[in-house]
């Protein structure tokens, strides 16, 4: 009798640890730097507006995505709603949120660096998850993957799934996760106040 092969899903804790460490390093670095543009300059106001917009897009996008996948992730293949446009909408919206945090800080450079690191981490995770799903769902996933981008969405592919059930537990967990993005906004304002009051030295000005 041949043994049944059961693929093992990627351990999400590794991704979370990497992002947490990177986040702490980024916050520590920003303590001793500040944006070139000041509050009274149009460029700073524009960056902050775009940053807030991306952060709230991240929040609502992740909540929207989890309504479709709920607790079915890795147990069922969800291909409707946001998952009809990209195979990883949660990662896409998280990347937008991270970029938004950098823009809300008032720096294009910070936004680009944060976005690139997050994108690389999420792409590596997405590839490992794709390997798992390919083993689990085989031809069904191969067909889905051939038609749907792994990361950046193709809006023309959108397909509504109609009525769907959701997991309150998964929704609550996602809401708890996105609070990190929301909390970053007042923290950035606090950091700005610290810089203006010259409570800590600033060694670098960032574009």
Token pair, residue 3, equals 């043994």
Q: What is the pLDDT of residues 8-23, one digit of tens each?
A: 555 566 666 766 677 7
What digits encode the pLDDT tens for the residues 147-190? 999 999 999 999 987 666 677 888 788 888 888 889 889 988 88
Residue 83 is assigned to a structural domain of this protein: yes
Query: Is 5 a member of any domain?
Result: no
Reported pTM = 0.86
145 inside domain: yes
Residue 59 near residue 181 (C-beta atoms within 8 A): yes
Please return the burial class of 105, using the count of CB atoms within 10 Å of its CB with bins 0-12, 13-18 and 19+. Answer: buried
Tally of domains within the chain: 1
Position 4 in a domain: no
């Amino acid at each position: 009798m041949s043994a049944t092969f059961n693929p093992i899903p990627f351990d999400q804790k590794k991704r979370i640890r990497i992002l947490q460490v990177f986040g702490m390093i980024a916050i520590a670095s920003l303590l001793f730097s500040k944006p070139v543009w000041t509050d009274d300059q149009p460029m700073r106001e524009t960056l902050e507006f775009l940053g807030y917009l991306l952060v709230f897009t991240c929040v609502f996008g992740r909540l929207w995505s989890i309504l479709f996948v709920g607790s079915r992730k890795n147990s069922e293949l969800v291909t409707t709603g946001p998952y009809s446009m990209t195979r990883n909408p949660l990662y896409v919206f998280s990347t937008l949120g991270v970029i938004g945090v950098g823009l809300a800080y008032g720096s294009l450079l910070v936004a680009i660096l944060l976005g690139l690191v997050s994108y690389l981490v999420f792409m590596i995770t997405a590839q490992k998850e794709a390997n798992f799903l390919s083993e689990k769902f085989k031809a069904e996933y191969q067909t889905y993957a051939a038609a749907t981008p792994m990361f950046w969405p193709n809006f023309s592919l959108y397909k509504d799934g109609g009525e769907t059930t959701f997991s309150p537990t998964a929704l609550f967990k996602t809401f708890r996760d996105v609070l990190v993005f929301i909390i970053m906004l007042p923290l950035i304002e606090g950091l700005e106040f610290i810089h203006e009051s010259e409570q800590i030295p600033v060694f670098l000005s960032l574009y």
